Amino acid sequence: MDITIRTVNDRWKLFTLTNDNGMEVQFLNYGGIITKILVPDKNQNKKNIVLGYADYKDYESDPNFLGAVIGPVAGRIKEAEFTLKNKNFGLEQNDGNHHLHGGSNAFHRVIWETETIKTDDKAGVTLSYVRKDGENGYPGNATVAVTYTLTNKNQLMIDYEATTDETTPITLTNHSYFNLTGDTNNTVHTHQLMVDSHQFLELNSGLIPTGKIIDATDSLFDFREGRELKNGMVAGSEQNKIVGNGYDHYFLFDHTKEKNVIVRDKNSGRVLTIETDQPGMVLYTGQNIVKGLELDGGSSKKYSGVCFETQSSPASLHHEGLPMIILNPSEIYKKQTTFSFYVE
């Protein structure tokens, strides 16, 4: 196990975690941004399987949130406002009339404090940040920690922890775009996906959940037996079309299978499995990726990566019966998501 640290500029540092198998995970203290995950294919060719910029400076103006820590609230908040204890809180409208991913200068834009961790079978870094009361419109001083850990089992574990001195909404995630082919010239259309879920949240034309939970059984949103992503991209349902031909929906996990998510790329043989204690995830197939950005390995285009944003639902601020995101001063927000890689 190894940890190396390289200075990118006067404020940014690039951390590289390497395990005994040669798997690598690279990330910045800026935004906690994962820039590369290098894993082998069935022929032992090691390639980067997440989207990242060729020039690190592009992360400062990134419209796609590539690889970043998202918070304090991942996802969209309707009309950029919410009410807590009979008090209304107004947020930045950075997605039409709505509030997206904590605001334009949220956790994906801050410099995180770092502390390294290393043992015989794992290497990691804890990133920490104190969100001040009123920052981006959110109440409470919140102390947040995100730990990236690489193991010799080719697992990337992401642990999230937060406390607050005032009741506040918090749900954190990572916004990495995966492309298991290892080639940005390829899209994720043929990625085979299994999701342990039979329910998802309906969206309106503004991509805001209506509060209605839809049964996915026998639809293009039923991934329990596995299906290719292209099914919902090429000739999708109205819900697929409303997001621009693809998926940008919150799936509620059934938590009935050992793995919450399994992703396969048949050509490379790479397989990604995801295990989490989060109640669900947003599946986003990258249909809104800005075209022509210079990425590591090629130029960006629609569908060049897919996100698995494990989290609770910000729609719970406006609708009952959904996974809550409220954290009280007496509580500790503590969640874990593990990404495991192998070949078949």
| Catalytically annotated residues | 175, 309
212-253 pLDDT, tens digit each: 999 999 999 999 999 999 999 998 899 999 999 999 999 999
CATH number of the CATH domain containing 175: 2.70.98.10
The answer to whether residue 133 is domain-embedded is yes
End-to-end CA distance of the chain: 24
Contacts of 109 (CB under 8 A, 6+ apart): 30, 31
The answer to whether residue 313 is domain-embedded is yes
Q: What is the pLDDT of residue 290?
A: 86
Q: Which residue has the tokens 């569908």?
A: 303
Q: Is 283 helix (H, G, I), strand (E, B) or coil?
A: strand
The answer to whether residue 40 is domain-embedded is yes
Write out the two tokens for 252. Answer: 């509620």
Compute the C-alpha angle 330/88/128, nearest 5°: 45
The answer to whether residue 184 is domain-embedded is yes
Q: Is 59 helix (H, G, I), strand (E, B) or coil?
A: helix
Q: What is the pLDDT of residue 6?
A: 98
Global model pTM greater than 0.75? yes
Q: What is the pLDDT of residue 235?
A: 80
The answer to whether residue 174 is domain-embedded is yes
205 CB neighbour count, 10 Å cutoff: 7
* Number of folded domains that form the chain: 1
The answer to whether residue 294 is domain-embedded is yes
Residues of the chain scoring pLDDT < 70: none
The answer to whether residue 252 is domain-embedded is no
Write out the two tokens for 127. Answer: 């990133």
The answer to whether residue 225 is domain-embedded is no
Q: What is the pLDDT of residue 236?
A: 85
User: Residue 182's domain spans which residues?
Assistant: 2-188+281-343
Task: Compute CA distances 334 → 69, 166, 173, 307, whole Å.
Answer: 15, 17, 12, 21
Contacts by residues 228-232 (CB-CB < 8 Å, ≥ 24 positions apart): 228/189, 228/190, 228/191, 228/192, 228/193, 229/188, 229/189, 229/190, 229/191, 229/193, 229/285, 229/306, 230/189, 230/190, 232/285
